[in-house]
Structure formats: structure tokens, C-alpha cells
Amino acid sequence: MDEAYPIETGLDVIFCRNILIYFDKATQARVLSRLCSHLAPGGYLFLGHSESIVGIDLPVLQIANTVFRSDSAMPVGRKIRVLIIDDSATFGRPLAAGAWSPIRRSR
């Protein structure tokens, strides 16, 4: 695993869907720990429904089945910053009710 994560810190929301299931538990713990270190105070981490953090010590509170919040309070009045990590086949394609999923950015 790369030592550097070339993503911003202070993210308010991280969506990590259908990614962790491909890794062993030790690698999942390292990835999740790093992602949590990129969350802003009060930031949210969303996982896929087949993914779990059971047995992994992270600085987040579970607020729903696969939704977690950084255990620090989020400052009021800031712009929201989001990171999406997804291997979904619908990524960038139309979804139900006319909604669109995010578009991948090329480097």
C-alpha cells in the first residue's frame, strides 16, 4: 500500500462503497484508519452495505448501519468537501428518478 494518500485532508464526507471487500481485515483497518485521518471534525464516512468495521478501532461513531461520524464536532458555516471511492457500474451513469452519480475525473 502506498504510504502517501494524495487526497485532501479535512473532508466532510467520504463515500467508500464496494472497495473494502476486496482486502483482508488488516488492510481494511489500515485503509479505514487513513481515510478517517482525512475526515474533518464531525465528518461522515459512508461504507457499502457488505462492508463492516467490526473489530477495527477507529475514531468514528456509528450513526446508522453503514454510516459513521468523526467523534469531533463539525464547525458551522463551512463549505462541504466530499471524496467518493466507488467501483459501482453505475458510476457516472443516470440513476433512477433522473439523478446522476458523480463523474470520474481523469488525472
What pTM value is reported for the model? 0.70
Domain boundaries defined on the chain = 20-89
pLDDT along the chain (107 residues), means of 10: 76 90 93 92 91 90 91 68 68 45 43
Instruction: Yes or no: say if 66 and 48 are a contact pair by the CB < 8 Å rule.
Output: yes
State pLDDT tens for residues 38-55: 999 889 999 998 888 888
Nine cell digits for residue 99: 439523478
Greatest pairwise CA separation for the chain in angstroms: 40
Instruction: Yes or no: say if 12 and 80 are a contact pair by the CB < 8 Å rule.
Output: yes
What was the pLDDT predicted at 3? 72
Calpha distance 102→64 (Å, rounded): 23
